[in-house]
């Protein structure tokens, strides 16, 4: 590298950071840009949420998105999302998948939980495989990795980016940088920020995977300190119901539509059959955390669960359910008021007036409870009668937050609507989701805009 070598620092080794570092390294062949990827975690733990994610991606096939992709994205955001962002995502997704595949990652069309949901693809081996493959490729392409290196501040001189201030081995140092890609996730593991945006329940929320705990909003804070614009829904997060007892990563329990859910008092509080699980899990998890006493709920089922084909696919907890011969015994195992639980089930069973032969776990089967039932049950309303009775205690666990930095279609961080020279961001750290997470899009957009960020950063450094 010559005297005019410029430095690009990528912060974060998840999907967005790896895509940025690798695409930048591929762009710079014959140009003088040095690329360093820093991650606050150790080498064994780096990779953030991506490392723990199955990484389903919302594509009809590896070479195309579904026809109404952009409209679906905008509908998920209740039309508060940026159409140009989602259009660029749709345009670049096939080429990005082909690029990842060119680094040895195979894509498959996976089975999902029980019901199908939108079409998706998955890297064989999920997040861990993709992190390993792209890290290897980035190293081969000359990217330098530094672990245990936590970004805390962007260093600025005379209005220009000159470095990243980091903590490493307990001391603070500045790493020189001419451009930075921030790819260090949302603020889900920052109790103060969670409290500020979601209230006290936000600070105590379970984190869905071991990788989630590293995402403490540092990059968001660093960019906001430079005057970056905020974007996305600051009261939005993606959360899912998990087994309260489980210790494994993402121990989701997604069979709740096929029974009922009660709170600690033994009463139902939502329509368990309002839609397919990926349409109800986020609100459900948030309602458990923020609206139920003790922030816990119980999915109550009977032994007919065990007759549903492949029901295990919808349970990722390593702990078996509570099991009892009577509802009263089950209530006592759970510490739930037994009279209320029995009354709830009697009322629910009486409202199950449809033909149980039409029960179909793989789609919204239209088997609704009688209209008199409050709250309603819109699908899968089959009486709970066949012992043993089963129960899972559930809590809401956060995967990532939606509030973040405003970026344009070139992954440039905006300030007063204009790009901040040398500053890029991609992935969870950017604020493009509102109201509810579009299903299977978080990893895809991290790769697509990470790759764009790397290319754009090198182009800017080569020009300036």
The pairing of beta strand 206-207 with beta strand 389-401: parallel
Tell me, residue by residue from 397 to 416, as one string, x for binding to ligand FAD by CB under 6 A and - for no binding. --xx----------------
Interaction of residue 443 with ligand FAD, rule CB under 6 A: yes
Which residue of 54, 236, 251, 422 would you call a contact of ligand FAD, by CB under 6 A? 54
285 makes contact with ligand FAD (CB under 6 A): no
Assign 3-class secondary structure to 272-285.
CCCCCHHHHHHHHH
Contact with ligand FAD (CB under 6 A): which of 6, 8, 13, 198?
13
Query: Which window, 35-43, 90-98, 226-234, 451-459, contacts ligand FAD (CB under 6 A)?
Result: 35-43
Nearer to ligand FAD, 12 or 403 (CB): 12
Q: What is the distance between the alpha carbons of residues 406 and 413, in angstroms, rounded to a whole number? A: 6
* Out of 8, 9, 10, 15, the residue judged to bind ligand FAD by CB under 6 A: 15
Of 14 and 259, which CB lies nearer to ligand FAD in the complex structure? 14
Using CB under 6 A, pick the residue from 52, 86, 270, 298 that binds ligand FAD.
Answer: 52
Q: What is the spatial distance between Cα 292 and Cα 271, in angstroms, rounded to a whole number?
A: 14
What b/e string do you get for 288-313 counting C-beta neighbours within 10 Å, with b at 16 or more? bbbebeebbbbbbbbebbeebeebee
**Site for ligand FAD contains 431 (CB under 6 A):** no
DSSP state of 180: E
Among 89, 130, 446, 452, binds ligand FAD (CB under 6 A): 446
Q: How far apart are CA 445 and CA 258, in angstroms?
A: 32
Binding residue (CB under 6 A) for ligand FAD from 47, 241, 259, 404: 47
Restricting to residues 104-123, which ones interact with ligand FAD according to CB under 6 A? Answer: none
Taking the C-alpha atoms of residue 380 and residue 358, their distance in angstroms, rounded to an integer, is: 9
- Which of 14, 376, 396, 454 binds ligand FAD (CB under 6 A)? It is 14
Is residue 278 part of the contact set for ligand FAD (CB under 6 A)? no
**Which residue in 28, 181, 244, 250 binds ligand FAD (CB under 6 A)?**
250
Number of residues that bind ligand FAD (CB under 6 A): 44
Q: How far apart are the first and last CA of the chain?
A: 17
> How would you classify the pairing of strands 122-123 and 107-108?
antiparallel
Give me the 190-219 binding string for ligand FAD, x by CB under 6 A, dash otherwise. ------------------xx--x-xx--x-
- Nearest distance from C-beta of residue 40 to ligand FAD, angstroms: 4
Q: What are phi and psi of 15, to 5 degrees?
A: -55, -50
CA angle 22, 27, 30 (to 5 degrees): 125
Which residues are CB-neighbours of 387 under 8 A, at least 6 positions away? 302, 303, 324, 325, 326
Give yes or no for a contact between 85 and 409, defined as CB atoms under 8 angstroms apart.
Answer: yes
**Contact positions toward ligand FAD, by CB under 6 A?**
11-17, 38-41, 46-50, 52-56, 150-151, 183-185, 208-209, 212, 214-215, 218, 249-250, 399-400, 427-428, 440-444, 446
């Amino acid at each position: 590298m010559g005297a005019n070598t410029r430095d690009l620092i990528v912060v974060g080794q998840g999907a967005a950071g790896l895509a940025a570092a690798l695409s930048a390294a591929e762009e710079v062949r014959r140009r003088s840009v040095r690329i360093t990827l820093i991650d606050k975690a150790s080498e064994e733990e780096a990779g953030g949420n991506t490392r723990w994610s199955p990484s389903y991606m919302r594509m009809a096939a590896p070479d195309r998105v579904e026809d109404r992709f952009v409209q679906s994205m905008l509908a998920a955001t209740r039309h508060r999302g940026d159409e140009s962002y989602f259009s660029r995502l749709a345009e670049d997704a096939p080429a990005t998948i082909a690029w990842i595949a060119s680094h040895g990652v195979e894509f498959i069309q996976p089975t999902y939980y029980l019901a199908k949901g939108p079409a998706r693809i998955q890297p064989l081996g999920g997040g861990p495989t993709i992190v390993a493959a792209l890290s290897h490729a980035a190293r081969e392409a000359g990217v330098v990795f530094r672990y245990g290196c936590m970004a805390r501040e962007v260093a600025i001189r005379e209005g220009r980016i000159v470095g990243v201030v980091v903590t490493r081995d307990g001391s603070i140092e500045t790493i020189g940088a001419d451009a930075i890609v921030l790819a260090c996730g949302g603020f889900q593991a920052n109790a103060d920020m969670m409290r500020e945006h979601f209230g006290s329940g936000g600070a105590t929320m379970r984190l869905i995977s071991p990788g989630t705990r590293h995402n403490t909003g540092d990059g968001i804070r660093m960019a906001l300190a430079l005057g970056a614009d905020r974007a996305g829904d600051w009261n939005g997060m993606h959360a899912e119901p998990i087994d309260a007892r489980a210790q494994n990563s993402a121990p989701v329990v997604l069979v709740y539509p096929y029974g009922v859910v009660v709170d600690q008092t033994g009463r139902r509080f939502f329509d368990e059959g309002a839609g397919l699980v990926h349409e109800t899990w986020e609100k459900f998890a948030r309602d458990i955390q923020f609206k139920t006493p003790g922030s816990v709920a119980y999915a109550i089922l009977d032994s007919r669960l065990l007759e549903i084909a492949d029901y295990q696919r919808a349970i990722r907890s390593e702990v078996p359910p509570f099991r009892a011969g009577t509802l009263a015994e089950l209530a006592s195992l759970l510490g739930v008021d037994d009279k209320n639980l029995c009354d709830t089930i009697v009322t629910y069973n009486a409202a199950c007036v449809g033909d149980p032969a039409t029960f179909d776990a793989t789609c919204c089967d239209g088997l609704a409870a009688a209209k008199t039932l409050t709250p309603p049950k819109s699908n899968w309303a089959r009486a709970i009668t066949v012992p043993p009775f089963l129960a899972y205690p559930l809590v809401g666990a956060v995967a990532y937050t939606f509030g973040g930095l405003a970026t344009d279609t070139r992954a440039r961080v905006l300030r007063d609507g204009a790009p901040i020279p040398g500053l890029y961001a991609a992935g969870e750290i950017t604020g493009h989701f509102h109201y509810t997470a579009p299903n299977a899009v978080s990893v895809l957009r991290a790769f697509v805009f990470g790759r764009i960020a790397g290319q754009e950063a090198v182009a800017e450094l080569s020009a300036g």
